[in-house]
Chain A
């Protein structure tokens, strides 16, 4: 008889499981019955759930298809597709009868499915603003085979090249195109983060059900569906940080030195990878390690290998990278933090200067049903958190990392008011992918382990496999998911926009891409070009230019002014601008939709003519390119401040 079939071994294992769980846990009896039920079931429901999820993806694809063709109801189809994709996974993960292996597969499938939602939004090229910045960094590495090239739009990114390094490796080895390799890397990262969170939550709660539900709930954070699915450095750094935390968590309670050593090496390696990949994730990881250290000191009775030394190494390594390699980050982050602080002070002193909720920077306003769902989701989170905290207080006090997660949850309600100020909205939004790790764990603990589950268990007239599903769990989880999706991405950018148009046997791309390609081919690379937010990124990624668009350089003043006065001349001279690209479309001003064709070609879309005609009237300026909405002016001889007629 093998070890695995030995009933004594099984009994000992089950006793070990019982010891690991507090006696008061309702999950204990549930898990025991679940294991018995699992053996009785002929097979899992994995096939059905997978097919249902695929059906949801087909609906989302259809929504994108009809959106590009101008159908007004495509948004409703998109919502339906997301629900059809999400709910079957939620149903199965919330049930008590699914095995651990099944939960893991479900989580990975859901992660892949949700990633495909983003891929289907932009299946042909990167269209999110930050993606184009990182695409340029990647192409520079591929071309020069070296690191740390300059990036005029976001100077800090070349100094955190982790994402680009891995993608360059993939391009070099597999000969995939940069876009395809980028999709693969981010896809793998998306699966990594969910698997890592599952293992962390399982390690912390000793329950695969809590782990599965927690990982599911993480997909409800406002940046999950689109923002952290883009080809950007944070999309890779956060999964690496999760892996690092998991390794350290495993290390905390092991009693074997050899094993602890291996885990330490693994954790240090991933820590180094995080530091090289993204600044904020590294800083958050350092803060988390120190918080963990403090909690461990207070509560870690059975900790064999503590966090203190790792936290110290992490701090010193992060500082060393910042000061010795990436000190441009200081100039990039300092103004952001300063503006955020000033914005917060302004809100307190003048509350009526607050930002209007559900209106994006480009002016698009979320529909009524979006707002209702988002508000209900936030309220649901605020209501559910206390149940989880009560449970953690009762049963998890001896586990430092559970307390760390509980403490981070307390930041969630504190971050909500930051959404009312324009400079701090970004901080609040970007913090959600970190804070939500704690939020998802605490809510999962509350949903699974709070005694209300015993009510659902008394339901007799449901199929065996579904008997343990808490009655309200799935609708709540679905509400949180949809609310997160609404909160994190403006509605007019949720669905695909026309990007590639069929014209006979040809495919036509937007004017900005044509302009960027022309600049590269006709003018050569690395010209300094003043451009707006959207075209600057296209010139950076496809045009291989040195575009300037930031407020610090005065470019908006140059582009939006109605004359080439002395101030504009000074901007040209100071920034050594050789060319200026003017895009007269208002739709181009939206950073999320400006990379595609305008969704409504008949809508009025032009800025004040004087914004671009001032260049036509200036002496010594050549208009070298005209595509109807985009004009490129050669500025090298612009030395006359008086417009001539």
Chain B
């Protein structure tokens, strides 16, 4: 299950990248970051509406791509990717967003196994499960 959207911004790539990565900018258009470690494997958290959503950063290619995995506050994980491209027609920057729904916490076991993945995802799963226990 995948959702894709895009928008063309009349800015330079550097300016667009700043909108995607600066905490104050993110708070204005995306969600208020409670924690933001923008490195592969880094952990982030966002106050999205009334929900705290935990995220693990998957990929950071400055000026090109930003990808993370996050939960919806209810046990469902999804992968979000921002891809930046020069928009030939307008001279601006096209930001393409993709959000792909992953399985629930039980699906973590089907993801690639590797020490780094396990550690990051275990943390995410524990946080997700903890929230379920707390809200039950």
Say whether A and B bind each other: no
